[in-house]
Structure 1
Amino acid sequence: MLGVLATGTAQADVTDTFTANFDVHRGKLALGTTAFGITPGAKAGCYVYTGQARPNALVRLFLGDVTDESRFCIEDGVIRPQHFRHHIAGDEKKSYTLDFDWSAHEVHYRSEAGKQDTMTLPERALDPLSIHMAARQWVDEADDPETLGEADFPMVDEDEIKTYRLRATDGGDIQTPAGRYDTVRVDRVDDNKRLTFWLARSAEWIPVRVEQQKDEDGIFQMNMTALER
């Protein structure tokens, strides 16, 4: 979800700086806003990817602001998370950090409530934010994204390591408050709860719409309202 306009012979890249803003709905019910952005990290080849969810007044009665931050580096084309933080205001049990030690092939989980665990890392693994970057990179590197088929993406989710299987297909034209975009659709297909991203061809594969089914209460939808690149 990044992008600086290319000039001369330079080409835009999925790690270019950007900020994208979204509104969030469940059906016709407005829930609040979300913003995602990426900036360069302290070292070359490293980045900071952040997400900030701000519930509206009604939702705030039940849920505080949510802040996510992923610090990752790209080594030989592979995304290597270094540190991830998930924080929900007022909820220590569901707020946690992940610290990745690739030399020891371990990831350390710590919740703000004091729970800790150490897990063995597979050869490749992502965190809940850097998996967005990995999906964009996967589509970006394909000659024809619509023929990619399916691929597995291991991810550390709190104190578990899961594997997301993603499928890429043509997403068609998507109308959002930020404009109309020709897209590739990426679906999670290993779980019966829906998770779909529409990635914009003309904006370095930044998601312009996301839909997720969290429970039986319906589909949550995010639509991009503004993009700064």
Structure 2
Amino acid sequence: MTILTSPRKLAGLALALSTTAAFAAPSSPTPFTATYQVLQGGEMIGEATLHLASTGDNRWEYSNQSQGTAGLAAAFGLSSNETTRFRWNQGAAETESYDYRMNTGLKKKQRHTKIDWSAHQVSVDEGKGPTVYASVPGLIDRNLAPFALGLALRDGKQTVTLPVAVRSNVENQQFKVAGKDNVQVPAGRFEAVRIERTDSDKSFNAWYVPQKYPVPVKLSQSEGGNLVLQLVSYRQP
């Protein structure tokens, strides 16, 4: 999941849950739509919408659309779209494809990831030809990581390792529960579980209410420009 900020910082922006090998859940996912405010320095600069929908046959589509609405993010017309298609395999999600597109008035970026589970192979193409490497069971992508982490917390995990397909390899992203905090966001006040990423020296905190939502109610990260996301609404069909 990618967050919007000034053009020079765009490359570093994954909603940094960008995060047991495969996450396990006892039942299939439930469709939802969640909206967020994106803030920088305490000022709102954009909005993001997450959407999960079934495509049938134990396949799902998880998307994140972000749009700059104020400041430089609006001035440069920043927008990004991430779409993951995944299969629900024996109580766990496994990415089948991931597409990322970012547009500004100055440049465009893209990434296409495809996982061939029969060949156990990952292909990542950013427009200059594919990079190919071996997959691992339970592999997901950076866009799906926030959802994966939420389901792991729902199942009572205190530490979580997620195998994430990045540009040229599988990155085992590690997280731990660091405590509980009272969190106030536009969607309400919550007693939330705070989780930290432990395999990176960049500041990262996310707050979840795992028995209520599979995605964070708040997220704060230093990478990409000291950004904060706050949940505005969460809807199920």
Corresponding residue for residue 51 of structure 1: 64
| Residue 81 (1) aligns with residue 130 (2) | no
Q: Could you tell me how far apart the structure 2 residues matched to 1:77 and 1:141 are? A: 12
Corresponding residue for residue 4 of structure 1: none
2:121 aligned to 86, 106, 119, which one? 106
Corresponding residue for residue 119 of structure 1: 133
- Cα 1:13–1:199 change in 2 (3 A) is farther
Corresponding residue for residue 226 of structure 1: 233
| Residue 195 (1) aligns with residue 195 (2) | no
Indicate if the aligned counterparts of 2:151 and 2:210 stay in contact, CA closer than 8 A: no
The ranges of structure 1 where at least 4 consecutive aligned residues each deviate by more than 4 angstroms after the TM superposition are none
**Greater Rg, structure 1 or structure 2?**
1
How many residues are treated as equivalent by the alignment?
208
Indicate if the aligned counterparts of 1:14 and 1:137 stay in contact, CA closer than 8 A: no
| Residue 152 (1) aligns with residue 158 (2) | no
Matched ranges for 1:1-229 at <5 A: 15-43=29-57, 45-57=58-70, 58-62=72-76, 64-90=78-104, 91-92=107-108, 94-111=109-126, 113-142=127-156, 145=157, 148=158, 150-215=159-224, 217=225, 219-229=226-236
Length-normalised TM-score, structure 1: 0.82
Length-normalised TM-score, structure 2: 0.80
Query: Alignment partner of 1:132: what SS?
Result: helix
The percent identity for this pair of structures is 18
Q: Could you tell me how far apart the structure 1 residues matched to 2:27 and 2:188 are? A: 21
Q: Could you tell me how far apart the structure 1 residues matched to 2:203 and 2:233 are? A: 25
Gaps of 5+ in 1: 1-11
What amino acid maps onto 1:50 in structure 2?
S
Structure with greater contact order relative to length (CA < 8 Å, sep ≥ 6):
2
- Displacement of 1:62 after TM fit? 4.1
Q: Deviations over 1:132-176 (max 9, x none)?
A: 22212211122xx5xx2x232111123342121110233322111
Q: Could you tell me how far apart the structure 1 residues matched to 2:27 and 2:49 are? A: 20
- Cα 1:63–1:95 change in 2 (3 A) is farther
